Amino acid sequence: MNHILSYKGYRFYQTTYDSDTLGSTFTVAHDPLGISLVYAGYALFLIAFIAFFFTDRKLRAVARKVGGVATAIMLFTVGSEFTASAAGNKAPKTLSKETAAQFGDLYVFYHERVCPLQTVAKDFRVKLYGNSDVYGFTDEQVLTGWIFYGSSWRDIPQKHRKNANDAQDRQQTINALFTGEFLKLYPLPDSLGRVTWYAQNDKLPDELSDDEWLFIRKSMNYIGELVISGDEAGLSTALEKLKKFQQKQAADALPSTLRIGAERLYNSFPPLFPVAGLFLISGLILLGWFVRCLACHLSIGI
């Protein structure tokens, strides 16, 4: 009863046995084009769904208005706009990829949660430059470039500003970065064990020890001096000390190593790699397969 007989477009389903078990009752279906049309529809839906995640909203709007070769030319022009603009400018200063990655491995309190600094770097780069490539730099290199070589980055073309609010939001982000309030890197527990994260220039608790006070106030300045002097070995050591300070002060309040690793892996995917979209598509495919199997079983009386 679990097998369907297909013959010249006809499908035979064994639905039941006779009461004496000597005979069977079959259901016959004949729809030679229906199955092909249904699966073709599923395929088109899947293609459209994937295109929705891979195509930028602005480019989709252009594609609806322009056809043929003109569309391809427009997409190529828009996609290469930042690259062409950047090509005419000297690459700004930044840290080496390895040192910037170590910076991105620090913890930070961001959007009411603790996450790797790499997440902040990714959001910062997207807010200023969209999904465009920025001289081949990593997100951490872009962020640390702005932190330590801000004057070198101010003239780098940013993504098109849709309105004044968008431009103001980006300027506020840059200002917050320069004042230090954007980077809450220093966790401090209170007498009850509750951890609060502070930026370098935040008002600190009165009961804080002198050593901790000096570390919070001066560590980023010291790191900046190491960057200027080009002492990468000393810089690496200073970043290690900062992370150990975070681990000591925050202790169990930090996310698990597995969670941080998963977030860093997610951040490492290319900007146009729609992880959530692929998971959703996979879920829909599995759901469709399950419904099809269920319908097949129901049609044959199981």
Give the total number of structural domains in the chain. Answer: 1
Report which of 67, 66, 63 is spatially closest to residue 52, judged by C-alpha positions: 63
Q: How confident is the model at residue 15 (pLDDT cuts 50, 70, 90)?
A: confident
pLDDT band for 85, please (50, 70, 90 cuts).
Answer: very low
**Is there a domain that residue 2 lies in?**
no
Indicate whether 121 belongs to any domain.
yes
Q: Which of 97-106, 222-231, 283-292 has the lowest mean pLDDT?
A: 283-292
Residue 122 lies in a domain: yes
Average pLDDT, integer, range 39-57: 68
Q: Write out the residue range of the structural domain in which residue 136 sits.
A: 89-271
- Whether 84 is in a domain gets the answer no
Q: Please indicate, yes or no, if residue 115 is contained in any of the structural domains.
A: yes
Domain annotation covers residue 48:
no
Q: Residue 41 pLDDT > 60, yes or no?
A: yes
Q: What percent of the chain has pLDDT over 70?
A: 71
Alpha helices in the chain (DSSP H): 34-54, 57-65, 68-79, 81-87, 97-104, 117-129, 139-148, 150-153, 164-179, 210-229, 232-250, 257-268, 275-299
**Cα angle for residues 267, 270, 273 (degrees, 5° grid):** 100
Q: How confident is the model at residue 63 (pLDDT cuts 50, 70, 90)?
A: very low
**pLDDT one-digit tens code per residue, 144-197:** 999 999 888 987 777 655 555 567 777 888 888 888 778 999 999 998 889 999
Is residue 132 in a domain?
A: yes
User: Position of tokens 């490539």?
Assistant: 133
Measured CA to CA in angstroms, residue 172 lies from 6, 125, 175, 176, 177 at distances of 67, 14, 5, 6, 9
Instruction: Tell me, yes or no, if the pTM score tops 0.75.
Output: no
- In this structure, is residue 61 part of a structural domain? no
